[in-house]
Amino acid sequence: MQPTTRPLTDEEIARFKRDGYVTVSGLFSAAELAPLQAACLADPSIGGHLRAIADSTGKAQEVIEWTEFTDDYLGVIPRIARLVNAANSLLGKPSYHWHSKLSMKPPHSQGRWDWHQDYPYWYDEGCLTPDMLTCMIGIDRVTRANGCVNVISGSHHIGRIDHVRIGEANGCDPVRLELLKRRLPVVPVELEPGDACFFHSNLLHASGGNDTHLPRTILHCSYNAIENSPFLSEGQAHHRYQPFDTLPDSVLLDRQWRDLFKNHRFNDFKIEGDTNRYGYKVMARA
């Protein structure tokens, strides 16, 4: 395991356990993220792999996902020591990369992510426990106006909630959702570029549309406890634990990567009109 220059503090770990999330300012520098920012602006379709997913009202959310490691920037970043070490510290056990994705909201796009937990989907993929988390990293400035993620603080203590069909998408049981909103605070997670927020797989979260003239891009890197590798065999080979090497925190600044995403391998989506494995309908991009 590579050492990290930015280990989480005891206070940050305690906050994660109490609230289900913790924000870490400046986990990545502007120089580290500049190549990815430039690539997203130059090719907002990320090589044509980006797919639009319908929200409950039928509006589009754009996302691209990957699991495999490569020598490209997108295949390197989930292995960086400061992320893997943080995941291990927060979960309290060794972890591995589950998957990563870019969530991209074009200017003036009204698609949203409806209220949901991540674990119900990962439970269905064969993970016995919710010893899983996601680190979301602001690539652009992320604000309420451009569709930041909102969380229900402390909702991870409730456990896994049934998710049901809501309009064109899936989401948290709306009756339980409204009851939880009366008991627990809803918190917007605004990020400057390079800020990160680690959140538990049972934390309820959602995001709204982008009402600004600028794009909003967030990188999500998700991790699973090694002992929680899915027991299902069919369709889960890409999610099963395989040994891997963490990379030094300096890997991005040292440019120890081949390209941004030219040689990278992304997870396949089904064709337009079908639903992906999480029950979301794939749409045509605007």
pLDDT of 278 over the 80 cut: no
Q: Could you tell me the residue ranges of all domains in the chain?
A: 10-283
User: What tokens does 286 get?
Assistant: 């605007």
Query: pLDDT tens-digit profile of 138-148?
Result: 999 999 999 99
pLDDT of 286 over the 90 cut: no
Long-range contacts of 47-53 (CB under 8 A, 24+ apart): 47/261, 47/262, 49/266, 50/102, 50/104, 50/285, 51/269, 51/282, 51/283, 51/285, 52/111, 52/282, 52/283, 52/284, 52/285, 52/286, 53/169, 53/276, 53/280, 53/281, 53/282, 53/283
pLDDT of 269 over the 80 cut: no
Q: Which CATH superfamily is domain 10-283 in?
A: q2cbj1_9rhob like domain (2.60.120.620)
pLDDT of 36 over the 60 cut: yes
Confidence of residue 276 (pLDDT cuts 50, 70, 90): very low
Antiparallel, parallel or unpaired: β 282-283 and 169-172: unpaired
Query: pLDDT tens-digit profile of 250-260?
Result: 999 999 999 99
Model-wide pTM > 0.85: yes
| Cβ neighbours, 10 Å, residue 168 | 17
Averaged over 228-243, what is the pLDDT? 94
What pLDDT does residue 1 have? 80
